[in-house]
Structure 1
Amino acid sequence: MTIWLLIRVTGFLAYFYFTWAVVAGLLRKSKVPQKRKNLLFHMHTNVGWCGLFTLIAHFLFVVADTYIDYSLLALLIPFTGDAMNVYLGLGIIASYLFVAVLCTSDVWLTKMNRTVWKWVHFMSLPAWLLALLHGLGIGTDTSRPLISLFYASSALLVIATLSYRMKKHATVVKVN
């Protein structure tokens, strides 16, 4: 396998895992039986970590790539260096947000209050959206029908799940 192919595969996989982590997290707080909530919790946690490890592999393959040859600084600080690509910057920001969400969920969870945890955890949705925009904008396969279908169906899945969650938590106010 070439580095270029590994960059693409790990990018798609990380996005796939993060999509399912977001969906499982949204469904877990919906009205589902407790047995399903436990399953969704484990899925949410495990695919989130799979996403992070795959994201790290994606980053390392980009660093190893000699064709594009981004500087390490350009890959760590959004919108800097010769790689002032907006979509690359969005991917970097998404990466930092996902790292923050995962670290505050498992690593530092006991060291923070619930309000802080919740606000950081809510960053998973903007992170996911930035990852989607990164893939759509910088991905060389975006114009391929199956890849377009992949991105469109994942976006619809997250939107539908978020809508379902918001509908289930909506408060009905009776007006006299």
Structure 2
Amino acid sequence: MSTEALWYAARGTGTTCLLLLTLTVVLGIVARSGRGLAGLPGFAIGAVHRGASLLAVVLLAMHIGTLLLDPYAKLGIADVVLPFGAGYRPLWVGLGTVAADLLIAVVVTSLLRRRLGVRAWRAVHWAAYGAWPLALSHGLGSGTDAGTPWLRAVAMACALAVAGSAAWRCSPSFRILPRPHRPPSPRHQPAAPTTMTPRSEQT
């Protein structure tokens, strides 16, 4: 793959990953409320939220892989794991590294949610709110398209979506809807009482 192709791949995967991370944050807030969105019921919102987060990790891996292969970026394995050590724009690349570490931690703990428990999972899950602004800052500070109108428009749209969702989450109008009660399955339903007929009445 040529250097120019790697450059385009890094830009495309990075921008798409930011969009998916934005979608993950917004849908996470909506799923927390138990409400539907765009005609989808609450349980479907949760499924889309999980799918978007997993897809974001896939795009993140592709983004990191293309940057490792790009001779212009000059990044090593340590640079994409440990923040602020890269030779190319260490501050902005380091912010992206922290965001990537947080996102991976959120996804891994989500997959191990039953083993970790709800409290530990929820504590780590809050890191998604910190990963998003770090990823946005990384894209605007280290990307070669930072000054272009299209990337600014994408960043503004992402910022408005997350800010609006966060404002709704913190507002008094935000209420968590109770989950619908599921009737017990026939296997676990109590047996119906039977009426015994006295022998004297049996003929």
Return the TM-score normalized by structure 2: 0.78
Identity %: 27
How many Å separate the matches in 1 of 2:57 and 2:80?
A: 16
Contact 2:36-2:45 at 8 Å conserved across structures: no
Give the deviation of 1:82 after TM superposition: 2.8
What amino acid sits opposite 1:10 in the alignment? T
How many Å separate the matches in 2 of 1:50 and 1:136?
A: 22
Correspondent of 2:26 among 18, 23, 26: 23
Give the deviation of 1:83 after TM superposition: 4.1
Aligned to 1:112: 116
Q: Is the aligned partner of 1:68 residue 2:68?
A: no
How many Å separate the matches in 1 of 2:150 and 2:116?
A: 42
Secondary structure of residue in 2 paired with 1:29: helix
Aligned to 1:136: 140
Give the deviation of 1:169 after TM superposition: 4.7
Aligned to 1:99: 104
Contact 2:73-2:88 at 8 Å conserved across structures: no
How many Å separate the matches in 2 of 1:136 and 1:86?
A: 12
What amino acid sits opposite 2:81 in the alignment? L
If each structure's helix is expressed as a fraction of its own residues, which one has the higher value? Answer: 1
Q: Deviations over 1:62-85 (max 9, x none)?
A: 011112222222222101253461
What amino acid sits opposite 2:8 in the alignment? L
Aligned to 2:155: 151
How many Å separate the matches in 2 of 1:90 and 1:158?
A: 19
Give the deviation of 1:161 after TM superposition: 0.7
Secondary structure of residue in 2 paired with 1:2: helix
Contact 1:29-1:165 at 8 Å conserved across structures: no
Structure 2 CA distance for partners of 1:161 and 1:150, relative to 1, 3 Å? same
Return the TM-score normalized by structure 1: 0.90
Q: Is the aligned partner of 1:59 residue 2:30?
A: no
RMSD: 1.8
How many Å separate the matches in 2 of 1:73 and 1:147?
A: 28
Aligned to 1:40: 45
Q: How many residues align?
A: 169
Structure 2 CA distance for partners of 1:81 and 1:22, relative to 1, 3 Å? closer
How many Å separate the matches in 2 of 1:21 and 1:54?
A: 13
Structure with higher RCO (Cα < 8 A, 6+ apart): 1
